[in-house]
């Protein structure tokens, strides 16, 4: 009996898939053949260890989340004078954040907490939002899509294992309206998006038609103050990524600066331009600033760039009561937070380079491969 057959037999026995006679035969073999018994015990032991290893991983994951909820980062940006000016105290910001933060349009929390700020609406595609929690099973499904789409995207004509069902699945997937946008910040497989898009989710899918890439990422960080989160894809996917043509740097937006964004209000990338209209955000929140730029659902999580192609922040919300008002998380805040996260994660941004140009079409072409649909 080969090793492989032996293991198949063990599995069949352990899962009760043997016939009555075979089962009896198996038991006799266990009694009589010591080596066989030894192999069987060793196999059972490894199977148990796998189970425990995986369980450990899941428990650890939960505990890490609890840790993140309980233990605040010690160096708070609120202690810095320049960020305090418009608001009386840190407490005020926290209260504000708690009351206005949109989190999830369909979730219960949003229903109660949003009442006081019904003009602040996160720019995500609402009907898609709040699908509930993504658990492990869902993640597996994503991984599955991950491999299918990645392997077969390139040559959809190849009929090898493409059943009609499968093709339909791919088409349905690529045409579905994204929830929002996310963009790459490091060649090592790190992405940024708006926190409310990944509310209650552990895994989300990213998709880029230009690069013909679809894969799942894990939400590794949710900021406590601002509406931003960091995603990480698997290392094998990271190998397929290129260095970003923009740098995540501290930049002060100036009133009147011309800016543009690339996002996914629909299943195609959309270019929108506008200008910085106020240095403070919703109700003078200093972590964000305001744009005069029409944003639609799906723009949430999109990067903002200056006219010449410098990174200028992260789009998170618009104001439903005013026309063309969009809120953006300050690049300085994001850059600082990422810097802090580097002590924990390998967010290597040294390969990022600046691609300055005044020609929008050139910048769009360079940036598009780095901006992903979030599904």
Partner 1 sequence: MNKEQQIATEIVDKIRGQDRKTLSQIYEKGYPMLEKYILENSGNEADAADVFQDAMYLLIKKTADPNFELSSKISTFLFGIGRNLWLKQLTKKQPDHEALVAEIEFDDLPEEDFQKFERTKLMKKCIDLLGEPCKTIIVQFYFFQTSMKEIAEQLHYTNANNAKNQKYKCFVRLKKMMLDKGE
Strands (E), the chain: 120-122, 180-186, 190-194, 203-208, 213-222, 228-233, 258-263, 270-278, 288-292, 303-306, 311-319, 325-329, 371-374
Is 238 an interacting residue with respect to partner 1 (CB under 8 A)? Answer: no
> Could you tell me the smallest distance in angstroms from the CB atom of residue 140 to partner 1?
5
Is 63 an interacting residue with respect to partner 1 (CB under 8 A)? Answer: yes
Check residue 341 and report its DSSP letter.
H
Burial code of 137-159, b = ≥16 C-beta within 10 A, e = fewer?
ebbeebeebbebbbebbeeeeee
3-state secondary structure at position 228: strand
Neighbours of 121 (CB within 10 A): 19
Segment contacting partner 1 by CB under 8 A, of 69-77, 183-191, 238-246, 330-338: 69-77
Is 57 an interacting residue with respect to partner 1 (CB under 8 A)? Answer: yes
Q: How far is 299 from 316, CA to CA, in rounded Å?
A: 8
Nearer Cβ to partner 1 (31/49):
49
Interface with partner 1: number of residues (CB under 8 A): 41
Is 343 an interacting residue with respect to partner 1 (CB under 8 A)? Answer: yes
Q: How far is 54 from 102, CA to CA, in rounded Å?
A: 34
Segment contacting partner 1 by CB under 8 A, of 45-53, 85-93, 104-112, 241-249: 45-53
Among 27, 37, 38, 64, indicate the residue that binds partner 1 (CB under 8 A): 64
List beta partners, residue 362.
Answer: none
What would the x/- binding string for partner 1 be over residues 112 to 141, using CB under 8 A? Answer: -------------------------x--xx
Among 53, 81, 115, 268, indicate the residue that binds partner 1 (CB under 8 A): 53
Is 234 an interacting residue with respect to partner 1 (CB under 8 A)? Answer: yes
Are 219 and 64 contacting, i.e. CB atoms less than 8 angstroms apart? no
Among 78, 97, 117, 148, indicate the residue that binds partner 1 (CB under 8 A): 148
Enumerate residues 6+ apart whose C-beta is below 8 A from 49.
Answer: none
Among 124, 128, 138, 146, indicate the residue that binds partner 1 (CB under 8 A): 146
Segment contacting partner 1 by CB under 8 A, of 56-64, 97-105, 123-131, 269-277: 56-64
- Please report, as ranges, the residues that interact with partner 1 according to CB under 8 A: 3-4, 7-8, 11, 15, 46-47, 49-57, 59-60, 62-64, 66-67, 69-71, 137, 140-141, 143-144, 146-148, 161, 166, 234, 236, 343-344
């Amino acid at each position: 009996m080969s090793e492989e057959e032996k293991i198949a037999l063990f599995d069949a026995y352990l899962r009760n898939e043997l016939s009555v006679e075979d089962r009896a035969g198996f038991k006799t073999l266990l009694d009589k053949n010591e080596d066989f018994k030894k192999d069987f015990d060793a196999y059972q032991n490894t199977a148990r260890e796998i189970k425990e290893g995986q369980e450990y991983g899941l428990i650890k994951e939960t505990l890490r989340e609890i840790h993140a909820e309980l233990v605040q980062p010690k160096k708070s940006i609120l202690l810095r004078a320049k960020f305090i000016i418009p608001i009386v105290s840190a407490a005020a910001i926290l209260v504000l954040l708690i009351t206005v933060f949109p989190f999830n349009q369909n979730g219960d929390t949003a229903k109660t907490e949003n009442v006081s700020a019904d003009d602040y609406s996160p720019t995500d595609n609402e009907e898609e939002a709040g699908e509930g929690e993504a658990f492990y099973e869902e993640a597996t499904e994503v991984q599955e899509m991950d491999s299918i789409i990645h392997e077969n995207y390139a040559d959809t004509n190849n009929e090898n294992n493409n059943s009609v069902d499968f093709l339909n699945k791919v088409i349905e997937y690529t045409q579905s309206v994204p929830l929002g946008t996310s963009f790459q910040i490091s060649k090592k497989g790190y992405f940024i998006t708006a926190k409310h898009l990944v509310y209650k989710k552990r895994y989300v899918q990213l998709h880029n038609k230009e690069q013909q890439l679809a894969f799942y990422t894990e939400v590794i960080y949710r900021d406590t103050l601002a509406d931003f989160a960091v995603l990480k894809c698997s290392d094998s996917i990271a190998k397929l990524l290129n260095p970003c043509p923009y740098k995540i740097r501290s930049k002060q937006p100036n009133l009147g600066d011309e800016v543009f964004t690339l996002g996914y209000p629909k299943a195609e990338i959309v270019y929108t331009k506008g200008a910085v209209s106020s240095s403070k955000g919703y109700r003078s929140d200093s972590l964000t600033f305001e744009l005069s730029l029409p944003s639609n659902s799906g723009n949430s999580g999109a990067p903002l760039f200056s006219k010449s192609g410098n990174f200028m922040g992260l789009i998170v919300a618009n104001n439903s009561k005013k026309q063309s008002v969009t809120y953006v998380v300050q690049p300085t805040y994001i850059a600082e937070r990422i810097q802090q996260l580097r002590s924990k994660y390998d967010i290597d941004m040294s390969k990022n380079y600046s691609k300055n140009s005044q020609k929008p079409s050139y910048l769009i072409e360079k940036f598009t491969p780095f901006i992903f649909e979030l599904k």
